[in-house]
Structures are given as C-alpha cells and as structure tokens.
Structure 1
Amino acid sequence: MSHHLEAFLEMMAAERGASPNTLLAYRADLVDALGFLGPDAARADAEDLRAWLATLGGFSARTQARRLSSLRQFYRFLAREGLRTDDPTELLDSPKAPASLPKAMSEEDVSRLLEGASRLPVNQAAIATAAIELLYASGLRVTELVTLPAGTLHAAEPLVTVRGKGAKERLVPISRRAREAAQAAQESLTPRGKGRATARKWLLPSRGANGHLTRQGVGLLLKQAALAGGLDPAKVSPHVLRHSFATHLLSRGADLRALQMLLGHADIATTQIYTRVLEERLRAVVEEHHPLARA
C-alpha cells in the first residue's frame, strides 16, 4: 500500500496544492489507518473501516472527523484511479464535533493590548499597533492583513478590497484610527537597499523572504504586546482579535448578514456562532447579578 499512499500524496501536492504541513498530516493519519487495515487495505470494506474508527475512541470527535476525512480523500483517489470500483467511506458517518464558542477579548483588554503595543521598543511599537488596530477594526484574517499592498489605504476611500479564502474579494471598511496607525508604521520604517522596494509593495513590510510581515511575525508581536499590557499572551492571537471584532459588533447591534459580509463567510451558519457567544454572556450576567438567580 505504500506506493498507493505516495501516489496519493503526490496528487494532493500537484493537483490540490496541499502545503507540506497538510501533507504531513495526511501521511500521519493514513499510516495509522493503513497499518491497522493491513496489506489488503486497498480492498477494505465499510466494516473494516468502522473497526479502525472504533480504535479512535480516546480521541476527540474533531480529531476522529479529521482522520476519517483523510481516509475519505484516499479512497476517493483509489476509486478515481481505477484501483477499486467503489468508495467504502461513503457508508460511514462522520463523528459530530461539538461547535466551540469563539474566544473573544473584552473591550477593556483590547485597550490594554494597544497600550502594551505602545510600550514595545520603538522599532516594534508602531507596526504592532498597526497590526492590532487593523485586525480589530476590520476583522481581517491575519493572512489577508499581511498581504495587503502598500497602496491599499487611501484617505478618500474608506472601503478597501480584500482578497480572502478561495480568492474571493470583498469590501471591508477601515477606520480612521487604523489608517493612521498603518501610516505611522510605514513612516517608522527606515528600510535600506532592497528594503525600499518591499516597503513600497506591502502595507506591513519586512526584510524577510516574502517582503512582508508573516503570520507568525504578527502573532509574536501580539504576544509581546500582551505581556507588556499585563495580559496572558496565551489568550491573545490574530484570530482572537477577529473573534473580538465580530462579538463586539454584534453586542452593539450589528446585523448578522452584514457581519457575514465583513468576515467573508461563505455560509451565514458560520457567522451565527457569534450569537451563541452573546447568549452565553447574557446568561452569565443574569446568573451573576439577578437577585433571585441563586435563590
């Protein structure tokens, strides 16, 4: 089966553009499954696969679902290549992963994060502040943020075009504060040599290979700002700021459909999870403050 596995991984890389990390995850999942199924794995039926799934009982539903997804991709590949006539995974039900509530910061903690960013060394403070302001003011994904071109923000154009998942474009408003923070970050950078070209190309430039700040670089800046602001860095990330943007907008009366457009969600069901956050908060407020809640 090893040659089938290698052929599958080659296909995922060449046709699907799977990243090295994604390929490693597929390999790990499939090595485990195929090791259990044995040399006849290519001819395994649904009952064989259910027996393998039963060995995953100690894992979370999310992990089980991911491993089954890897197996589905593999057996679809075998069927497509004519190595078997059916796909046994079609008869399997995916484990139901409980929907987890997004973790959002309070408005006060966002202010503390910005204060922490301002206390960082001069060469970091401006770009950290710009990253926080832009993420929190717009709800951008971190990849969308770091790949914004330098000429994206114009004073006369409050809406900017962002290229999101699946190369889909959407219009996102950027606040005056965020625009000013981004301008201050660019002015604080004094690149030399090749750096001048990259500074003109990207909104948040860097001397790295990509020419722009990386996702990891933004994450590190947020951790440093959190520490400087007296916050737990483990609870701060670009995605947490995106969740905070959405949660705070809803709590102040934003329309769910408008929020879907701002976040770039293809399905409004993805956006609706934020209503659960508000429900949980309202319940906690009643339980903590209502005089009869604990009677």
Structure 2
Amino acid sequence: GDELREILSARWGTKPDRLVLGNGSNELLLQVFLVFGGHGRRTLLFHPTYSMHGRLTQLAGGTVVEEMIGLPYEVTKERALAAMAKVRPEIVVFTTPNNPTGGEIDGDVILAVAERFPETLVLVDEAYSDFAGKSLVSRMDEFPNMVISKTFSKVLAAAGLRVGTLIVHPDLMGYFTAAALPYNVSTLTLAVAARIARDEESIGHRLELAKRERARVFAALRRVPVIEVFPSVTNFILFRLRNEKPPEVHTRFLEQSVLIRDISIWPGCDGCLRASIGTPAENDRFIAALDTVFAAPAARR
C-alpha cells in the first residue's frame, strides 16, 4: 500500500504515514467505533445523516444520541456546541458534505467542536468532499482528536474495489495499528487503486462533468412547483414533495424507467426523495420524466 499512500497523501496535502487503508470505508468506520466507542460510550449524530454511523455505533456496543437538525440541514456552531455540552459524547460524527441532504457543514463549526471538546473523538466523514472541493485535512495537525474518513466509491467511481481511507493524527495512529486486521486489503486491489488514483486527468473530467450535470438537474427540479429542492455540492440532489406520497411518486418514476431513492423513512426526511447525478443520457431521461411524473392526475392517464 505504500504507492497508494504516496499518491493519496500528495493529493490531500498530508503525509503517507497518516493514512490507514481498509477494505472499504465501512470497515474503517467500524474500527473507529470499536476503538473509541463500545459499551457505555455515546456517539452524537446530527440527523438526517448517513445511517451507517448509527448502525456501526450499535454494532460496536455503543449508544447513539441523535440531535435532529431537520431540513434545511444547517448545523450551526451554537447548535453543535450546545449538543456537545449536553451529551458529552465519546465520539461525534460530522458528515460533510452530508448524505442524504447534499449540503456542507461549515468547517469552522467542526473545528470549534474539536477545540472545545478535546476529550471527544471528532470523526469527519468526507466521502463526498471531492465534489465540494473542500477538506479539513490541512488542519489535522492542530487537532489530535480529529479523524477524517475518505473513500474510493464516489468521485473515483471504484466502489467495487472496496478501498477506504482514514487520515489520522500521529497521536492516535497506534490505536488503529493495533486494531487493524492483517492483510485486510489485497495486493491486487492496492495496485488497481493506485492506478486509478494516479489518473488525475480522468478524475478532473468526472468532477467537472458531475458539476455541470448537477446544475442542469437542479435547474430542472426547481421548475417543478410541487416539490422543494435542497442545494447540493455532491453527486445527488434531495427534494421534498409538498403534497404527494413518496412511494407513489417513486413508482411513477419507475414506470418511466427511472430509478431514484425513496428516503422518506429516514429520520428528518419525511416526504423526501433523492436523485443521483448520472451520465448526461441518464439525466436527460430523468428530466424528461419530470413532466409525466408530476403532471396532473388526469394528464397521466
């Protein structure tokens, strides 16, 4: 994994020995909750957010404490610090950009929490950060209690490789080295991952294409009067139905051969659906389907 560490650390502006590689980001996230969580320990989450953080907390034997932010998803410094003071968790998780809402959490909010509560592990999930062009990696030397998670499954389009990365302060590296499974990522996987990560031109092209297509899909959704669309810096867009039921709208999209995600059962996401940004042709089909899906009932017959 030395070659991959060199490539990734150069891109992210850190040192190779700060990187922990794993068999997908979920394996590494579980490692975080096993090492710093567990029985009698609490993880603070700001909902709605990535559901796996709660599941992995519980799998490690810990307790999830939820602070409901709702929509629009705006985690302010005052709200975050108040929740931290109330809960005093062993772990707090910030997902930025956030899944499923698509927006960012201000880096100053996260750093304020890390500074004010040095005894708490601050886990920053940056799975979608490449799309936003922002990261807190450059500030890690100042905050030994901060760990950043990244993945190959988003902008690198290599989910099947199962390669995840943690960026860890030297003060914490010993804990992760002790807890890591030996030979958890195959030599073949590491070689392929290094080749993909080295191709900066293709990565840049995918990012530019995703941004252009996101703007196009967002504009199309904004023209639909019966939904509320939330700004996104990722490769998906969240929108909320004003009156209709998500399962029914989801079915109507399927009838147009368009698959989107019904996330209305997620905490804080009542009435919401999420559309991923695909290829230009896929996005054309989604945009074309909007008129039919959201037409008046009589017009859909």
Length-normalised TM-score, structure 2: 0.23
Higher helix proportion, which one? 1
Higher strand proportion, which one? 2
Length-normalised TM-score, structure 1: 0.23
